[in-house]
Amino acid sequence: MPLMIDHTDDGIVPLLCCDQCGERIGAAADGTGQWRVGAAGGRVPVVVLHRSCRRAFERIHGGDWAAMDLAVLPTLVREAMTASSPRRRWPR
Ligand SMILES: [Zn+2]
């Protein structure tokens, strides 16, 4: 789970952490959102990775992976929370 919470003396701090190394991704430009390429009708989770961890992750998990700039992730989350229908289709 890449979204984490740090507890501090002053409150909580949300962190986005890499699914490969577990370390914080500090800037959107340093990360990607990835998912396994699949057939229509399938559902797969999105993983969040440092760009530098992408190859190691893909080598360990095998298969074909699609990637999207991490800066787009907030848009995906907003759309996932939208009840409108039909939902927007993104190109594969
Ligand atoms: Zn990493």
Range of the domain at 28: 3-80
In the predicted structure, residue 53 carries a pLDDT above the cut 70: yes
pLDDT tens per residue, range 24-34: 999 999 999 99
pLDDT-wise least confident of 37-41, 61-65, 66-70: 37-41
Domain count, the chain: 1
Q: Which residue has the higher pLDDT, 79 or 60?
A: 60
Evaluate whether residue 88 is within a structural domain: no
Distance CA 49, CA 16 (A): 9
In the predicted structure, residue 88 carries a pLDDT above the cut 80: no
Give the DSSP letter of residue 28. Answer: G
Evaluate whether residue 45 is within a structural domain: yes
User: What's the 56 CA to ligand 1 centre distance in angstroms?
Assistant: 9
Distance CA 72, CA 88 (A): 14
Would you place residue 86 in the very low, low, confident or very high pLDDT band (cuts 50, 70, 90)?
A: low
Evaluate whether residue 86 is within a structural domain: no
Evaluate whether residue 89 is within a structural domain: no
Give the CATH number for residue 76.
3.30.1230
Looking at every residue in the chain, the average pLDDT score rounds to 89
Report every protein residue that has its C-beta within 5 angstroms of ion ligand 1.
18, 20-21, 50, 53
Evaluate whether residue 12 is within a structural domain: yes
Evaluate whether residue 10 is within a structural domain: yes
State the pTM of this model: 0.83
User: What's the 30 CA to ligand 1 centre distance in angstroms?
Assistant: 9
Evaluate whether residue 8 is within a structural domain: yes
- Residue type (1 letter), 44: V
Residue 42: φ, ψ to 5°: -85, 160
Q: Which residue has the higher pLDDT, 80 or 91?
A: 80
Evaluate whether residue 87 is within a structural domain: no
